[in-house]
Structure 1
């Protein structure tokens, strides 16, 4: 690891704002799925596919951004991609057809895909392993605020004005952030000297790294899949878009509160225990949602999902920064890519069930898949030993 690990904790506030803005755009669409479908005059499944396209390209772009940031710098990569992402978010607001919406959201997703993983890589470059999970949990404060505001605000905007306003807000915020990030210092790091594909070959040869990526894929399908369909499921029970958005916003509040709890527990608990804790919360949330999608039940579900995300996901993210230190940027990028490809594939596979209103079946499947995810990831993390160069950090 570079000398940057001996430096003080990086400007976490700017990284939190980066997480906030990228999350704001990512979670703006789920509360508006029904409103968009109604406005464009298309089936809900078409709009679910647009959301799936966003997550798919968001995920597939991650490995490329990791290699780009290795070559051109973490901060420079974040600034340019956020600028272009903001432009395409505004283009999304001008979409006149499902095809235009799919294309504009896909491009925006691919560009926003550089923001949060680059923030994680930045922390991996600058924060010692002993303090890294706490810093990553703190980064989730931005995720929590972005999720809460997007979930509640987008639903309200769709009800009282238009769904298009939400994408204008995220686009303008992204452009402004691209300018603000000039204050973030570029971390000290070793410049890559070999082939650009060398880190990829290292990942392919590492069985444990591939296993971590598999866990990320499954987590995306379960946790993000449930969260994406939570608002339309609540609306399907008779609630308005605004109510569904506010209910989903509880998830953001839960992430904020849980991040403080997980930050403290990470100093005393083994990460495998945090993974299992998150898995139990995910199983309970999905099972409850399979029984009832009414707002009262969904509030409890959103709180449990926030705990599941903060506990399990922060542990898996931290593991991704440690499992292969010599290829950290590419590993973290592949991790994020696996997460959102899993989410996108899950959305595509259940789009027909969502169109038919069969949410109970969808969430029962998610609850079933969450069990082996929690047990498998927890057991694997328990037996894994941190590499010597990370132990010395």
Structure 2
């Protein structure tokens, strides 16, 4: 008897798991890598920033490529190349070589999650899209938890290099698994990349969303990236710091269920407000204490902030300009990670000096205007025309 095909959302969840596994493997190992390579922590944090920077800058490129090459083929080709460069990064011998190889891997991994969002935008009706985007975050949650615990344990017990071997092989396997994902119909896509850019440039709300994504990346991804070294700075081991960060994955998993239910009755602006409030509370708490017990609560709050606010902004990105969906979503994702990368570079010196209280106080302060502005803008926005999906 022939097996039934795997549901598209399951394959997309697996793709999200693999790309997130790679993205979150590095933070729990920052201190271990610095010790092994004999380099200052600031240089390794900068190398991590290079990953997020290239990851972010590459995404607008992949959105355009997916319009021409196809959503599924783009995911498969980029995951193949990401796996290769991740395996090569396991051989890094200096902060520079680590930054270069991780940057290349990040550039190709940059296609995975945005392509999944675009795929959902192409195939799921707008009315139920946030529910599926919240389900997609289950893959993010699992990848985050596995990377946070596994990478820290591997760094302590064996070597940080093994973690990159694991994520590289997983990426290659995902390339094969995605062969069964059906390609959505190509309809209503921009005639050229310039058409998509002109459409975004002429939309004030689309440009405002890119600013929201940039700020959110600096706050939420910045806060999460530095959570393990902040806990280690307070005296914890890499494994314990990774375990604390794994709580974030558990929180994303639980919060995705909550947000999926609330999305059926709550207006998105309320979800954005809830997420911003959680971000302010989490960053404020870590500004006061970086002890593991406090960090566990912070990880829970950051997971709620990500699932509530970010999924709402992501869903909005798939709706605001349906005719240029791939361009908008990819630029949105690019802005998110460019914001994260810039934040990592700006606070690298403070992290090296152990001034995490100041770093998280700034993150908390930035979350306040972000939540207010994004919530008000989403409350006032009206979908320009009926969109049913395909």
Q: What is the CA distance between 1:197 and its match in structure 2?
A: 1.1
Task: Select which of 24, 31, 34 maps to 2:31.
Answer: 34
> 2:381 aligns to what?
384
Task: Select which of 359, 363, 368 maps to 1:362.
Answer: 359
1:59 to 2:56 alignment: yes
Structure 2 CA distance for aligned equivalents of residues 379 and 103 of structure 1 = 40
Q: Deviations over 1:35-93 (max 9, x none)?
A: 00000000000000110000000000000000000001000000000000000000110
Task: Select which of 16, 19, 33 maps to 1:19.
Answer: 16
Structure 1 CA distance for aligned equivalents of residues 66 and 7 of structure 2 = 17
Task: Select which of 288, 297, 300 maps to 1:300.
Answer: 297
Structure 2 CA distance for aligned equivalents of residues 162 and 387 of structure 1 = 53
Structure 1 pair 193/216, CA: closer, same or farther in 2 (3 Å)? closer
Q: What is the CA distance between 1:192 and its match in structure 2?
A: 4.4
Structure 1 CA distance for aligned equivalents of residues 190 and 54 of structure 2 = 28
Q: Deviations over 1:236-269 (max 9, x none)?
A: 0000000000000000000000000000000000
Q: What is the CA distance between 1:11 and its match in structure 2?
A: 1.3
Structure 1 pair 193/282, CA: closer, same or farther in 2 (3 Å)? closer
233-242 vs 194-203, which moves further: 194-203
Extract unaligned runs of 5+ from structure 2. Answer: 1-5
Q: Deviations over 1:207-256 (max 9, x none)?
A: 00001110000000000000000000000000000000000000000000
- State the TM-score, normalizing by the size of structure 1: 0.97
> 1:238 aligns to what?
235
State whether residues 10 and 123 of structure 1, in contact with CA within 8 Å, keep that contact through their aligned partners in structure 2: no
Q: Deviations over 1:102-155 (max 9, x none)?
A: 000000000000000000000000000000000000000000000001011100
1:140 to 2:134 alignment: no
Extract unaligned runs of 5+ from structure 1. Answer: 1-8
Q: What is the CA distance between 1:387 and its match in structure 2?
A: 1.9
- State the TM-score, normalizing by the size of structure 2: 0.97
Q: What aligned pairs does 1:219-258 form with structure 2 within 5 A after superposition?
A: 219-258=216-255
User: How large is the RMSD of aligned CA atoms in angstroms?
Assistant: 1.2
> 2:3 aligns to what?
none
SS in 1 for 2:187: coil
Task: Select which of 180, 183, 186 maps to 1:186.
Answer: 183
Structure 2 CA distance for aligned equivalents of residues 124 and 229 of structure 1 = 32
Q: What is the CA distance between 1:389 and its match in structure 2?
A: 3.3
Structure 1 pair 269/98, CA: closer, same or farther in 2 (3 Å)? same
Task: Select which of 317, 326, 329 maps to 2:326.
Answer: 329
